[in-house]
Structure 1
Amino acid sequence: MQRLQTRAQFQAVLAGATVARTAHFALHRCTLDAPAGAESLFGSARDVWVGAMVPKRWARRAVTRNAIKRQIYTVSALAEASLPPAAHVVRLRAGFDRKQFVSATSDKLKAAVRAELQQLLQRAQAARP
């Protein structure tokens, strides 16, 4: 699994289709052969590319954003075999309630994020191209 790094890579994937949604996350996918110039952005290798977008709007504290990104990359790495060779972006689209999850690095928040990400990837498998 490779990580998206440049702005152009993220923009190319976000221009693709939204494959799955949950209460807090959305998964965008761009096949590597679909847009013109994708080969130059992602290389010729048929690999799984993953990026994470966690805006300040939905997770104010940096420690929360980093914890969510770590969960995204960990769950994606575990599900790499089930993902098609394409570029994916997992985007946080709603915030987690700070009254329910007081600590940004609590096990309760990590478990909730992990469970929802697993649900998101299962929905993406059903919508496989």
Structure 2
Amino acid sequence: MHAFDVLGDPVRRRILELLAEGERSAGEIGAVVQGEFGISQPGVSQHLRVLRDNGFATVRAEGTRRLYAVDPAPLQEVDVWLEHFRGFWNQRLDALGTELARGRRERRARDGARGADQGTP
């Protein structure tokens, strides 16, 4: 399965968000995902299996619990692929930064002029 096929599912993205905060048990993940998406425990297990089988998550046994953690390697591959497209939004973010700075300068100049007007008798 391609990385974007794995990440294209909102349930799997949510599970990865939870795992990004730290290792979690299957039960903890299930409780959150079942509450937010209304899917069954077997459905959550299937999503965990997809993440595990495609390298996005690792699992380790601790007694009867299964603890899941994010595996960053596939996400780094996605990041490398996205690098080709960063220029599209970096230019726009730079332009936005320029406009915000211009607006702040204009407000300071306007507020300074008002203050000078108000200070004159």
* TM-score, normalising length: structure 2: 0.29
Q: Report which of the two has the higher share of strand.
A: 1
Largest Rg, 1 or 2: 2
* TM-score, normalising length: structure 1: 0.28
Q: Which structure would you say has the larger RCO, counting Cα contacts within 8 Å and 6 or more residues apart?
A: 1
